[in-house]
């Protein structure tokens, strides 16, 4: 891992905005964009249980991101090593005969890029847009997160303008219409119960309404070129409904003091860190002479 890579600092722009609860509203469209990359889509189709356990997958992703941002240097490095171990075995051949590996730097960068852009978009749609100065600082810190993840300097665009050019080019020329995309869209539109104990009679009306709203946000937040590629329609009525919902979110969150907006992410990171510490103590107790985990290396070219 590059020695210069640093986890976000307490009070930084990333610290204050990335874990904002509103960002979770853009989780579904970001997942669509991620799996539209052929490498990511193939890995999800062949190695993920997302369709069977969407809520569990969402919680695991939330805990991972929270640890990267709010777990400090130790938490970010430990989570990086865990993610690399998890993705090392995710490889194979997709349905078009193309070989893939989850640690492909180009695909790894794309997933990171969707999260970078998603943090900016969430505040533009559901809050107050970040200023140019805030975006400059935000991207510099998220670039450090990319380095922590194992990406190299030459993988990452140097500044926000370069990142935006890269992002638009990837959407235009690299993303595709594949089965993983439609699995995500279907799971958003037809939300499963988060807990089996919830009675069907109670979940049906709530799940149906929540699914329609999540689908509206998903389609509305996708880049125009991606909507066209998927054949998704977007009407002026849908645009008005999305704006009304965004205004409601904006008004509601204005009543919440800023520290509480990121409290979930901070708490999730602390829980994850505490559980990881306990597992490490138990492992040392069971195998006192076992060497500690080696640091994660950067992704290969």
Q: Is 32 inside a domain boundary?
A: yes
Q: Is 62 inside a domain boundary?
A: yes
Q: What are phi and psi of 52, to 5 degrees?
A: -80, -30
Domain containing residue 47? 13-284
Q: Is 294 inside a domain boundary?
A: no
Question: Does position 289 have pLDDT exceeding 70, yes or no?
Answer: no
Cβ neighbours of residue 295 closer than 8 Å, sequence gap 6 or more: 1, 77, 81
The total of structural domains in the chain comes to 1
Query: At 56, is the pLDDT very low, low, confident or very high (cuts 50, 70, 90)?
Result: confident
Closest C-alpha to 218, from 56, 39, 36, 48: 36
Q: Is 267 inside a domain boundary?
A: yes
Identify the sign of the CA torsion 5, 157, 123, 230. Answer: negative
Q: Is 114 inside a domain boundary?
A: yes
C-beta of residue 55 within 8 angstroms of C-beta of residue 143 = no
Query: At 283, is the pLDDT very low, low, confident or very high (cuts 50, 70, 90)?
Result: confident
Residue-level pLDDT at 2: 44
Dist. CA 61–CA 65, nearest whole Å: 6
- Over pLDDT 90: what percentage of the chain? 85
Q: Is 291 inside a domain boundary?
A: no
Dist. CA 255–CA 238, nearest whole Å: 26
Q: Is 289 inside a domain boundary?
A: no
Question: Does position 1 have pLDDT exceeding 60, yes or no?
Answer: no
């Amino acid at each position: 891992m590059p020695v210069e890579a640093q986890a976000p600092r307490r009070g930084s722009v990333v610290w204050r905005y990335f874990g904002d609860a509103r960002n979770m509203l853009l989780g579904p469209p970001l997942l669509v964009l991620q799996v539209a990359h052929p490498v990511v889509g193939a890995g999800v189709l062949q190695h993920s249980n997302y369709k069977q356990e969407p809520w569990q997958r969402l919680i695991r992703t939330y805990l991972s991101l929270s640890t990267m941002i709010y777990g400090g240097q130790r938490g970010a490095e430990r989570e990086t090593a865990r993610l690399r171990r998890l993705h090392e075995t995710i490889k194979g051949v997709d349905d078009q005969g193309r070989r893939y590996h989850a640690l492909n730097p180009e695909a790894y960068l794309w997933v990171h890029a969707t999260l970078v852009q998603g943090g900016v978009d969430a505040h533009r749609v559901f809050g107050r847009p970040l200023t140019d100065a805030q975006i400059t600082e935000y991207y510099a810190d998220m670039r450090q997160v990319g380095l922590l993840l194992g990406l190299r300097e030459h993988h990452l665009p140097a500044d926000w303008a370069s990142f935006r050019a890269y992002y638009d080019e990837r959407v235009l020329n690299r993303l595709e219409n594949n089965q993983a995309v439609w699995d995500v869209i279907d799971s958003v539109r037809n939300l499963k119960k988060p807990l089996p104990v919830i009675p069907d009679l109670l979940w049906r009306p709530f799940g149906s309404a929540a699914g329609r709203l999540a689908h509206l946000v998903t389609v509305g937040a996708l880049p125009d070129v991606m909507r066209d590629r998927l054949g998704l329609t977007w009407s002026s009525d849908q645009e008005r409904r999305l704006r009304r919902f965004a205004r409601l979110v904006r008004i509601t969150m204005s009543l919440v003091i800023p520290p509480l907006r990121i409290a979930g992410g901070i708490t999730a990171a602390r829980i994850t860190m505490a559980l990881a510490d306990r597992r490490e103590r138990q492992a040392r107790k069971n195998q006192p002479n076992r060497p500690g985990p080696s640091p994660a290396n950067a992704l290969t070219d």
